[in-house]
Chains A and B, each alone.
Chain A
Amino acid sequence: MMSEEIIKDVIVGEQEDYLINLGPQHPSTHGVLRLEVCLKGETVKYLNPHIGYIHRGIEKMCEALTYQQIIHLTDRMDYLSAHINNEAVSMIVEDALQVEVPERVKYIRTILDELNRIASHQLWWCAFGMDLGALTTFFYGLRDREHILDIFEESFGSRLLHSFVCPGGLMHDVHPNFQKRTKEFIKYFRTKLPEYDQLLTGNIIFQNRSKGIGYMSRETAIGYGVTGPSGRGSGFSCDVRKIAPYGAYDKVRFNEILETEGDVFARYKVRMAEMHESLSIIEQLIDNIPEGDFTAKMKPIIKLPAGEYFRRVETARGELAVYVVSDGNKTPYRMKFRTPNFSNLFVMNEIASGYKIADLIAISGSLDLVIPDIDR
């Protein structure tokens, strides 16, 4: 029997490092991201993300647009958390003008946030299964996501980029069927979620490919600013809904899901458990939506008082922070979006080095990256 050293010497190309480009159009990068990967054999030595393929200069564009117009740009950053991005900018305007939004708006916003979070996690689940070679997940996930998108379509006329939350409240009231259909969806999805576990979670191939892969310690997560389910999979308690509650989050009971293993499977478990939590949040709110106006009284031209404003929200992927410098005009002087995916991407070199190239796909899938959110 040959010893391990001899086998290593026999394999051609094992001695030399080589660079390959993963992307910018590789399906598993979920967008236009290029990873320059240095390989030794099949093992990743280091990787270097190259971004900017979809850089639109949103921060520069904001400097020429009014706050109502900026809402429509924020949709296009993390398009799977469109409501939550809208809410961040809306809340910063409400903070600055000291507008108290009606209770009804807070409830509806929170329900929409959670519906959006479920839809986002569903799409992540489809794509993650597909990254690891399980094509069936894609059909299951999209089948259920369709129900949420139908609710959105009925109320706002659009399925992906809603621009429905605006400074002061909502663009218009939700459809009369909203409550009924949301309750139907909760009932429906409660019966479908166990299918997800049966199909993928318990699958031994899936578990072997995700357990013990892409280990991220809590210190690494904090140091790189990895937030959202990816950070919580490493035990970093970073849920803005708990730290600084906004909307109706202070009126509901829910758990912050924390896992301590820090591997791909831990991040998977956090997202699966978050879908259950989101359903329970919606369930607590949907029957208690107060009657009232769908918007507070706002002036047609919004001018923020001169000063600096900062607001954080929890999107489906982590912490979105908005920082606005206003000089008293109707357009912001400077607008900065600290997007979750920007920080989540750059931890990849740290957590993927030393694993195989096939594991790199699992790791990038477990971080749930949305590339337009990185580039802005």
Chain B
Amino acid sequence: MLTQEELTDIVRSFVPESVFPEGTQLLEVVVPAEKYFLLIEKLKSDQKLSFNYLISQTAVDFTSNMTVVCHLESTEFRYLMVVKVILTDRENPAIDSLTALYPTAEYFEREIFDLFGIRFNNHPNLKRLFLEDDYGYPLRKDFRDEVNMIER
């Protein structure tokens, strides 16, 4: 079993620009959008880590930026890691798709596209999952629906 320090060292050797926020519940790493796919590919293929299970992939709208959050687990060693990407462009957010690595990402990403409007490059079938095409992106903080939402 690797300790948290050893894990951070390995991640740093993959992507030197990665940032590790302090005081988080799980081990967290923030990477630039262009290194995101590369890092997760290495986390998955590395023999000492083998993060082969994507527990969940989601996004958070922090109004100043959009953050994509991936929870990864290694089914062999039971490490947990959170990989985050901060997208500053709220008008046209785009990021690489993980579908080539994890088949389940195809549907997590369709859900994120549906609810946040984040586009995924190289996604095989980027269509909305729950809602109609002209609905807007409901989980964005500036979303307004006069009929169904009550402001408090």
A-side residues, CB < 8 A to B, are 51-52, 55, 57, 59-60, 64, 95, 220, 222-225, 236-238, 243, 307-310, 312, 319, 321, 323, 325, 333-334, 336, 338, 342-343, 346, 350, 375
How many residues on chain B are close to A (CB under 8 Å)? 31
What 4 A-B pairs have minimum CB-CB distances, sorted nearest first? A338-B56, A52-B130, A55-B130, A225-B104
Contacts of A220 in B (CB 8 A): 103
A325/B102 in contact, CB under 8 A? no
A243 cross-chain contacts in B, Cβ below 8 A: 78
Q: DSSP majority for the B interface?
A: loop
- B26 close to chain A: CB less than 8 A: yes
Question: B56, A57: Cβ atoms under 8 Å?
Answer: no
Confirm or deny: B75 has a beta carbon within 8 angstroms of a beta carbon on chain A: yes
Contact of A237 among B75, B82, B152 (CB under 8 A): B75
Known: A225-B55, A243-B78. A60 touches B130 (CB 8 A): no
Q: Does B69 contact A (CB under 8 A)?
A: yes
B residues neighboring A (CB under 8 Å): 23-26, 52-56, 58, 60-61, 69, 71, 75, 78, 82, 102-104, 106-107, 111, 115, 129-131, 138-139, 150, 152
Contact of B129 among A52, A225, A308 (CB under 8 A): A52
Quick one: closest B residue to A59, CB to CB? B139
Closest beta carbon of chain A to B70's beta carbon, Å: 11
C-alpha gap A57/B140 in the complex (Å) = 13
- Which chain B positions have C-beta within 8 A of A375? 130
The total of interchain contacts (Cβ-Cβ below 8 angstroms) comes to 74
CB of A60 within 8 A of CB of B139, answer: yes
Closest residue to A225 on the B side, CB-wise?
B104
Give chain B residues whose Cβ lies under 8 Å from the Cβ of A350.
103
Complex CA distance for A108 and B23, rounded to whole angstroms: 32
Given contacts A338-B55, A346-B106, is CB(A323)–CB(B69) below 8 Å?
A: yes
Q: Measured between alpha carbons, how far is A224 from B98 in the docked complex, in Å?
A: 12
In the complex, what distance in Å separates the CA atom of A342 from the CA atom of B111? 10
One of B61, B75, B107, B152 near A238 (C-beta < 8 A): B75
Among A224, A238, A309, A333, point to the contact of B103 (Cβ < 8 A): A224
Is A223 a contact partner of B103 (Cβ separation < 8 A)?
yes
Are the C-beta atoms of B138 and A222 separated by less than 8 Å? no
CB pair A323 B75 closer than 8 Å = no
> Chain A residues near B150 (CB, 8 Å)?
64
Residues of B within 8 A of A333 (CB): 60
Q: Report the minimal beta-carbon distance from A311 to chain B, rounded to whole angstroms.
A: 9
Inter-chain contact B129/A321, CB cutoff 8 Å: no
Assuming the contacts A224-B103, A334-B60, asked whether A309 and B25 have C-beta atoms less than 8 A apart, the reply is yes
Cross-chain contact of B55 among A52, A64, A309, A321 (Cβ < 8 A): A321
Q: CA A25 – CA B150 in complex, angstroms?
A: 32
A204 to chain B, nearest CB (A): 35
* Interface-centre pick from A51, A222, A312, A319 (highest chain B CB count, 10 A): A222
**Distance between Cα atoms of A263 and B43 in the complex (Å):** 30
What would 28 A/B residue contacts be, using CB atoms closer than 8 Å? A51-B129, A51-B130, A55-B131, A64-B152, A95-B25, A222-B53, A222-B75, A223-B103, A225-B53, A225-B55, A225-B102, A225-B104, A307-B23, A308-B25, A310-B26, A310-B71, A321-B71, A323-B56, A323-B58, A323-B71, A325-B60, A334-B60, A334-B61, A336-B56, A336-B58, A338-B56, A346-B104, A346-B107
